[in-house]
Amino acid sequence: QLQLEESGGGLVQPGGSLRLSCAASGFTLDRYNIGWFRQAPGKEREGISCISSGGRANYFESVQGRFTISRDNAKTIVYLQMNSLKPEDTAVYYCAADFTGYGSTGCNYGAMNYWGKGTLVTISS
């Protein structure tokens, strides 16, 4: 069965770094777009980054230049490297997958079919 599991969340002070991992099982990453989402307390869930099955990355402007998404298809893991973290980044972070077939070039955040359970990231002094 297709499953996603996030890990790497925790507590970090402002300006620090953290790397999240999204481990996939039951399917191969090279036919899926993988997106990272987050939901802060009292706010709606928002898509912040996505990497297409063809390997192209997309970022929401609030994380552009600070976060980097990457994928290792052999290990079936997608990473989100987060640098220069701010208190506003505090949220539960989710990864999600969208079956597109090989070689997609863009991401549709609203089309994700499979979701992990999330990992909590807290930015505080």
Residue 17 CB neighbour total at 10 angstroms: 11
Q: Which pLDDT score, from 0 to 100, does residue 2 have?
A: 83
Q: At residue 29, does pLDDT exceed 90?
A: no
Residue 69 in tokens: 């998404």
| Distance (Å, whole) CA 108 – CA 46 | 12
Element (H, E) at 69: strand 67-72
Q: What is the mean pLDDT of residues 55-61?
A: 95
pLDDT band at 53 (very low <50, low <70, confident <90, very high): very high
Task: Report which of 114, 119, 118 is spatially closest to residue 2, judged by C-alpha positions.
Answer: 114
Q: Check the CA dihedral 11-49-1-116 and report its sign.
A: positive
Share the mean pLDDT of the chain: 95
